[in-house]
């Protein structure tokens, strides 16, 4: 089956774009959802994380304190590597299982870190949602109430815009109106439907 990897920096409009494809009946497999699923209490990944960092990483309802975990790995490259070597294979397994069950003519694998985690090697085409950094910051701060500095720090941790665009087979330019984005998606959808006949 034709699988399109959908990615983009923080606040570029990935969710806005994937919601439109979903409305067209396309199966969306979401790496963020899978990433949350693998650390649910009782899962092998959850148990290994608690064994390494202790019970202080569990919230009062028993779930993982993902914020605290993010803070640990934000400043410690070794811990980041350890965590990723544990979570990434588990996440991939979920994603590939879900893609295998997709029923639409093609499927979308939505992953903010598609390129950083090399998931692009497992898709047929890479679709990048693009917007300039000032818009990323304005939209993301307005949406979550985070500071511009916080969003900038996340942008610096992600692959840079030029490199991301270089890896793209297709691009949605989401710097304009929602209507312009909608029109681009309609065209891409027709293109992907045609391409899907070859898979
Ligand atoms: P994140 O990486 O943080 O999950 P995202 O890439 O999924 O973000 P969205 O959540 O789709 O981005 O968009 C960020 C915010 O910008 C949302 O509030 C969304 O409604 C708004 N937005 C997206 N596209 C546009 C647009 N073309 N014009 C105006 N606002 C937009």
- pLDDT tens, residue by residue, 18-77: 999 999 999 999 999 999 999 999 999 999 999 999 999 999 999 999 989 988 988 899
Q: Ligand 1 mean position to 34 CA, how many Å?
A: 21
The pLDDT, as a whole number, for residue 4 is 98
**pLDDT class for 179, splitting at 50, 70, 90?**
very high
Establish whether residue 112 lines the binding site of ligand 1, counting it when its CB lies within 6 angstroms of any ligand atom.
yes
Give the Cα separation of 164 and 127 in Å (integer). 10
Establish whether residue 141 lines the binding site of ligand 1, counting it when its CB lies within 6 angstroms of any ligand atom.
no
pTM over 0.95: no
Q: Ligand 1 mean position to 139 CA, how many Å?
A: 6
Number of H helices, E strands in the chain: 9, 5
The pLDDT, as a whole number, for residue 74 is 82
**pLDDT class for 157, splitting at 50, 70, 90?**
confident
Mutation test residue for ligand 1: of 18, 143, 184, the one with most atoms within 8 Å of CB = 143
Element holding 196 (H helix, E strand): helix 178-196
In percent, the amount of the chain with pLDDT more than 90 equals 90
Q: Which ligand 1 atom is the nearest neighbour of the CA of 175? A: 27
- Burial class from Cβ neighbours inside 10 Å (0-12, 13-18, 19+) for residue 122 reads middle
């Amino acid at each position: 089956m034709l699988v399109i990897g959908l990615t983009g920096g923080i606040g570029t409009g990935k969710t806005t774009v994937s919601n439109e494809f979903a409305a067209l009946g396309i199966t969306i497999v979401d790496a963020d959802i899978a990433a949350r699923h693998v650390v649910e209490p009782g899962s092998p990944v959850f148990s290994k994380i608690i064994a390494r960092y202790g019970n202080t990483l569990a919230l009062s309802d028993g779930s993982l304190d993902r914020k605290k975990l993010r803070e640990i790995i934000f400043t410690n490259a070794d811990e980041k590597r350890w965590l990723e070597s544990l979570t990434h294979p588990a996440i991939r397994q979920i994603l590939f299982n879900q893609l295998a069950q997709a029923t639409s003519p093609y499927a979308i694998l939505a992953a903010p870190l598609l390129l950083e985690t090399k998931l692009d090697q497992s898709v047929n085409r890479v679709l990048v949602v693009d917007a300039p950094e000032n818009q990323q910051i304005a939209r993301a701060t307005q949406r979550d109430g985070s500071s511009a500095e916080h969003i900038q720090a996340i942008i610096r941790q992600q692959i840079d815009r030029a490199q991301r665009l270089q890896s793209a087979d297709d691009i949605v330019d989401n710097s304009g109106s929602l209507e312009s984005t909608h029109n681009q998606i309609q065209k891409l959808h027709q293109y992907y439907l045609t391409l899907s006949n070859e898979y």
